[in-house]
Amino acid sequence: MKLPVIKHLTNFIEENDQDYVLETIETLEALTEVPSLKDEELDLIGELISNLYGAVEVDKMIKDGTPKKEALNNFMKRVLGSIDQ
């Protein structure tokens, strides 16, 4: 996951609608079922999906009252914490 990408997607959600991101996730998940995709392509799609889900999570925190910068930092701390375990 990349914080700048998640931040950009969070801005997109604020300016537009979360539904666009959720529909994109569904589309990318459907693409992963194409049998002819190479491992590198699946990795890229997976990275995109992770960033999109990250932006949705950050958006939820913001809507729950967490300031944007704090929400982004807290999310990345959670991600890094789960990797360290």
Taking the C-alpha atoms of 3, 4, 8 and 11 in order, what is their torsion angle to the nearest 10 degrees? Answer: 60
pTM of the model: 0.88
Confidence check: pLDDT of 84 > 60: no
User: Looking at residues 33-49, what average pLDDT do you find?
Assistant: 96
CB 55 within 8 A of CB 17: no
How many Cβ atoms from other residues are within 10 Å of residue 45's Cβ?
17
Q: What is the pLDDT of residue 22?
A: 97
| 85 — pLDDT class (breaks 50, 70, 90) | low
Q: What is the pLDDT of residue 77?
A: 87
Map out the domains of the chain as residue ranges: 3-84
Confidence check: pLDDT of 7 > 70: yes
* Coil/strand/helix, residue 84: helix
User: Looking at residues 24-38, what average pLDDT do you find?
Assistant: 97
CB 21 within 8 A of CB 9: yes
Q: What is the pLDDT of residue 83?
A: 66
